[in-house]
């Protein structure tokens, strides 16, 4: 699936019609040449269209491998509505003999099918995440999320360490060098670190603290856990997946202004907070 490049866009604020580059729209950095209004909604709609197409193609490709492994045909009505790999595994389980552990076998078959996909980027796909997030985690990370990661690191990491972190995070082959450091990370600017009260170290309490400071419903994840790294997840779900797991993680809640850090132990947890107008 491709979009016409440049694509025609009509600004909802001033009504100006213009033709803008697809890469700028997908990176959510396009602005109306007439009034300078952000055109993020256009890029998000384009991303959604690409994701719908990619999800359909992923299901078709996985299904073909499963049908070959099972020696039978899976109906379109069974598979095309799948939202997660768990959904596909449940379909496969209904076709397996009752004499075996169908849950384990079905998940194994689905995992092996994903591994055969040329465009899968996940080492260990998470079965409960939206299907594309499981197969291609962080697929938009080099777009606006990349800018958000830069804002997070530049806002909260002390100057001597910033370049190293940004350099590794920006290169897929070296990204794990950056995320592997997070469990024992000691390079935050202390001016922006806010301790969490001892009786509020559970996901629900931490979410309330973040919400009180302006956090939205989702966050961008930078994590030692490859299943989460690069995902944009609901804030509560992200907290439930990282708090107490001992995997170094940063959750960007408001770009460059509010984040959460989970280190290896409870003493490492902290909010990272800046206010508008504050400078280094």
Q: What local confidence, expressed as pLDDT, does residue 278 receive?
A: 58
Q: What local confidence, expressed as pLDDT, does residue 1 receive?
A: 72
Which sequence spans correspond to the domains of the chain?
47-135, 144-273
Per residue in 195-223, pLDDT tens? Answer: 999 999 999 999 999 999 988 888 999 99
Q: What local confidence, expressed as pLDDT, does residue 280 receive?
A: 60
pTM of the model: 0.54
Phi and psi angles of residue 106, each rounded to the nearest 5 degrees, phi first: -65, -40
pLDDT at residue 277 greater than cutoff 60: no
pLDDT level of residue 234 (50, 70, 90 thresholds)? very high
Q: What local confidence, expressed as pLDDT, does residue 169 receive?
A: 84
- The Cβ of residue 107 has, within 10 Å, a number of other Cβ atoms equal to 19
Per residue in 9-59, pLDDT tens? Answer: 999 889 999 999 988 888 777 889 998 887 878 988 998 899 999 999 999
Q: What local confidence, expressed as pLDDT, does residue 270 receive?
A: 96
- Least Cα distance to 274 among 160, 189, 198 occurs for 189
- Show the CA angle centred on residue 245, arms to residues 239 and 248, nearest 5°: 80
pLDDT level of residue 86 (50, 70, 90 thresholds)? very high
The CA distance from 244 to 247, in Å, is 8
* Helices (H), ranges, 71-138: 76-79, 85-93, 102-115, 131-135
Q: Which of 31-40, 107-116, 210-219, 228-237 has the lowest mean pLDDT?
A: 31-40
pLDDT at residue 117 greater than cutoff 60: yes
Q: In the block, which residue shows the tokens 């007439």?
A: 34
Mean pLDDT, rounded, of the chain: 89
Q: What local confidence, expressed as pLDDT, does residue 122 receive?
A: 76
Tokens of 162: 């910033």
């Amino acid at each position: 699936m491709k979009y016409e490049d440049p694509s025609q866009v009509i600004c909802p604020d001033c009504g100006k019609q213009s033709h803008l580059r697809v890469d700028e729209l997908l990176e959510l950095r396009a602005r109306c040449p007439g009034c300078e209004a952000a055109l993020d909604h256009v890029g998000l709609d384009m991303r959604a269209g690409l994701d719908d197409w990619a999800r359909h193609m992923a299901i078709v490709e996985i299904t073909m491998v499963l049908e070959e492994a099972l020696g039978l045909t899976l109906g379109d009505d069974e598979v095309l509505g799948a939202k997660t790999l768990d959904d596909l595994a449940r379909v496969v389980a209904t076709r397996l003999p009752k004499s075996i552990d169908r849950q384990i076998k079905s998940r194994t078959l689905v995992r092996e099918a994903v591994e055969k996909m040329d465009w899968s980027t996940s080492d260990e796909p998470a079965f409960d995440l939206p299907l594309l997030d499981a197969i291609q985690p962080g697929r938009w990370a080099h777009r606006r999320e990349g800018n958000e990661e830069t804002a997070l690191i530049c806002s909260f990491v002390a100057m001597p360490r910033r370049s190293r972190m940004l350099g590794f995070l920006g290169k897929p082959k070296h990204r794990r060098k950056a995320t592997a450091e997070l469990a024992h990370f000691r390079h935050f600017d202390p001016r922006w670190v806010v301790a969490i009260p001892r009786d509020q170290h559970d996901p629900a309490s931490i979410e309330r603290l973040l919400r009180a400071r302006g956090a939205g419903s989702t966050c961008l994840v930078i994590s030692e856990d490859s299943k989460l790294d690069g995902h944009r997840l609901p804030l509560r779900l992200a907290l439930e997946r990282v708090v107490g797991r001992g995997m170094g993680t940063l959750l960007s809640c408001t770009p460059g202004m509010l984040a959460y850090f989970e280190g290896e132990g409870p003493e490492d947890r902290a909010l990272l907070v800046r206010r508008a107008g504050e400078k280094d």
